[in-house]
Structure 1
Amino acid sequence: MKGKLLLLLTLTGLLCTSCLSIGLKMIGAYDKEATVSHYSNGDKEVAYIPMKHIGPKEFYGNVKKKVDSLQAEGYIVYMESVRVKDSLTPQQKDTLKWKARKLTGVNISTSGYIDTINKTLMGYKFKNRKGLINQPRYFVLGVDTIKGRVVDVPMNDLIAAYEKEYGPIVLNDCDHTLPWDQKYTCGKIAGEESNAMILDYRNAHLAMEIIDEKNKKIAVIYGALHENGLYKELKIRDSLWIKKPLR
Structure 2
Amino acid sequence: MKTSSNTHPSPGTSAAVPPPLWRIRLQAIALFVLVAAFVLGLPILLGWGYGLLTLLVLGAAILAVASAWVLRRFSPTAAGRPFALVWSRSLIGWTLVLGVVVAAPFYYLMVVTDTRPATVPQVSLTNGSKRVVFQGMQHIGSERFYQAVIYDVEKALSEGYVSYYEGVQTPTPESKAFFEKLSHELVGGSDLSGTYKSIGEVCGMKFQLDYFGLLEADKAEHPKRHLVADVDAIELKAEYDRLMREDPVFAKAHANDFQPKPAANDNAFMLKMVEWLKSGSESQKTLGGVTCRGLFSLNQAAASTTPGRMEPVILDFRNRALAQRIMQSPDDKIFITYGAAHLPGLVAELRKLDPKWEVGSVKWLRTIEAPEHIEGQLRGLGN
Per the normalisation by structure 1, the TM-score is 0.69
Matches within 5 A, 1:99-178: 99-102=182-185, 104-107=186-189, 109-115=192-198, 120=199, 127-128=202-203, 131-137=204-210, 138-141=212-215, 144-145=218-219, 146-147=223-224, 148-167=226-245, 170-174=257-261
Distance 1:214 1:21, change over 3 A: farther
Question: What is the distance in 2 between the residues matched to 1:226 and 1:22?
Answer: 28
Unaligned runs of 5+ in 1: 1-16, 185-190
**Structure 1, residues 12-36: CA drift from partner, whole Å, max 9, x if none?**
xxxxx9698788778845x6xx753
Paired residue type of 1:151: A
| Residue 288 of structure 2 corresponds to residue 202 of structure 1 | no
Question: What is the distance in 1 between the residues matched to 2:322 and 2:109?
Answer: 30
For residue 52 of structure 1, report the CA deviation from its aligned partner.
1.6
User: SS state of the match for residue 361, structure 2?
Assistant: coil
**Structure 1, residues 194-231: CA drift from partner, whole Å, max 9, x if none?**
11111111001000000000011000010111111111
Question: Residues 170 and 179 of structure 2 are in contact (CA less than 8 Å); yes or no, is this contact kept in structure 1?
Answer: no
Question: Residues 37 and 243 of structure 1 are in contact (CA less than 8 Å); yes or no, is this contact kept in structure 2?
Answer: yes
Distance 1:175 1:218, change over 3 A: farther
Percent pairwise identity: 25
What is the count of residue pairs matched by the alignment?
A: 209
Question: What is the distance in 1 between the residues matched to 2:156 and 2:115?
Answer: 28
Distance 1:193 1:164, change over 3 A: farther
Q: Which has the larger radius of gyration?
A: 2
User: SS state of the match for residue 161, structure 1?
Assistant: helix
Unaligned runs of 5+ in 2: 1-104, 246-254, 272-306, 364-383
Q: Which residue matches 1:237?
A: 353
Q: Which residue matches 1:76?
A: 162
User: SS state of the match for residue 192, structure 2?
Assistant: coil
For residue 139 of structure 1, report the CA deviation from its aligned partner.
3.6
Question: What is the distance in 2 between the residues matched to 1:180 and 1:174?
Answer: 11
Query: Larger % of helix: which?
Result: 2
Larger RCO, structures 1/2 (Cα 8 Å, 6+ apart): 1
Distance 1:82 1:45, change over 3 A: same
Return 55-64 or 158-167, whichever deviates more: 158-167
User: SS state of the match for residue 46, structure 1?
Assistant: strand
Paired residue type of 2:172: D
For residue 101 of structure 1, report the CA deviation from its aligned partner.
2.6
Question: What is the distance in 1 between the residues matched to 2:347 and 2:311?
Answer: 17
| Residue 125 of structure 2 corresponds to residue 39 of structure 1 | yes
| Residue 329 of structure 2 corresponds to residue 213 of structure 1 | yes
**Structure 1, residues 167-219: CA drift from partner, whole Å, max 9, x if none?**
587432337998875559xxxxxx66511111111001000000000011000
Q: Which residue matches 1:222?
A: 338
User: SS state of the match for residue 341, structure 2?
Assistant: helix
Paired residue type of 1:206: L
Question: What is the distance in 2 between the residues matched to 1:23 and 1:153?
Answer: 36
Question: What is the distance in 1 between the residues matched to 2:110 and 2:242?
Answer: 38
User: SS state of the match for residue 70, structure 1?
Assistant: helix
